[in-house]
């Protein structure tokens, strides 16, 4: 149980284009989803937190107009990187927390990540 | 501001050589300390949650313990497949969004 998927697993795009990454909780209802980015040999940096049906809460220093987050259902959240630039190249990981087996859980279950390369 | 410090940054062990990883933390009201395993190019895999000092949890060759200031991840008789980065994270008692603060991790390499 508690499986989270991400799509795509990797993507290469040209500078100035937008990229959408999907995060799905496959076997539980994710009341809260999180988006992280991770640079090589660094830890996870939280970008934003989203609750189903509400606007995302962004961490300080994260541009909300650049990283658009939508959490339209209890099983799906999307992150759109708008007008991507090479400095946006990173490993983006989502996680989900919520009702697993009918009980609320503090644990976050992570997706496999999406490697974004902007050329 | 919550802080998590993990040590050592990297650890090399021979297969069967037991050791411990450390996670020191400062948090305003601990609402859970979490251990994850991360393989290269993949998302973290949940291992344990500890909530109060004195609590211990075990899974195969791993055992996690918690005090008021730190947590240890003990690895008994490790195997090469235990090689990974081990991440520690804490959640504080403020807010309602289960936000975690992560340490930088310990890169464990187990040689056959």
pLDDT tens-place values along chain A, 119 residues long: 689 999 999 999 999 999 999 999 998 888 889 999 999 888 899 999 998 888 899 999 999 999 999 988 889 999 999 999 999 999 999 999 876 554 556 678 999 999 999 99
Q: What gap in Å lies between CA A52 and CA B3, rounded to an integer? A: 28
The 10 Å Cβ neighbour count of residue B28 is 10
Q: Which residues of A touch B31 (CB under 8 A)?
A: 106
pLDDT for res A1: 63
* β-bridge partners, B97: none
Q: Report the sign of the C-alpha dihedral through residues A63, B92, A3, A98, in that order.
A: negative
Give the Å distances, CA to CA, from A78 to A22, A28, A104: 5, 17, 22
Nearest residue in B to A92, CA atom: B43
Say yes or no for a CB contact (<8 Å) between B91 and A106. yes
For chain B, the average pLDDT equals 93
Residue B97 buriedness (CB in 10 A; 0-12 / 13-18 / 19+) = middle
Produce one character per residue of A6-23: b if its CB has 16 or more CB atoms within 10 Å, e if not: beeeebebeeeeebebbb
- Quick check: helix, strand or coil at residue B82? helix
For chain A, count helices (H), then strands (E).
0, 12
Mark yes or no for CB contact A110/B87 under 8 Å.
Answer: no
d(CA A50, CA B99): 11
* Residue A19, pLDDT score: 97
Give SS3 for A33: strand
Any chain B CB within 8 A of the CB of A44? yes
Nearest in space to B72 (alpha carbons), one of B26, B6, B10, B9: B6
CB within 8 Å: B44 and A44: yes
Which band of pLDDT confidence, cut at 50, 70 and 90, is reported for residue B81? very high
């Amino acid at each position: 149980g508690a499986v989270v998927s991400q799509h795509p697993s990797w993507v290469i795009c040209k500078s100035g284009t937008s990229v959408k990454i999907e995060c799905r909780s496959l076997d539980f209802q994710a009341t809260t989803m999180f988006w992280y980015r991770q640079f090589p040999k660094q830890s996870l940096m939280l970008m934003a937190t989203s609750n189903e049906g509400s606007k995302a809460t962004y961490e300080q220093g994260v541009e909300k107009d650049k990283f658009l987050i939508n959490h339209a259902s209890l099983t799906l959240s999307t992150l759109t990187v708008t007008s991507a630039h090479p400095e946006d190249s990173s490993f983006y990981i989502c996680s989900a927390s919520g009702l697993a087996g009918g009980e609320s859980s503090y644990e976050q279950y992570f997706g496999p990540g999406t490697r974004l390369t902007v050329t | 501001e919550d802080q998590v410090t993990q040590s050592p940054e990297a650890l090399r062990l021979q297969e069967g050589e037991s050791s411990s990883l450390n996670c020191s933390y400062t948090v305003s009201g601990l609402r859970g300390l979490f251990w994850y395993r991360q393989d290269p190019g993949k998302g973290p895999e949940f291992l344990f949650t500890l909530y109060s000092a004195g609590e211990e949890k075990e899974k195969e060759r791993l055992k996690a313990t918690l005090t008021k200031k730190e947590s240890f991840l003990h690895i008994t008789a490790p195997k090469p497949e235990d090689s990974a980065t081990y991440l520690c994270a804490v959640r504080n008692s403020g807010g309602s969004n289960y936000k975690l603060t992560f340490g930088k991790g310990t890169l464990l390499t187990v040689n056959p």
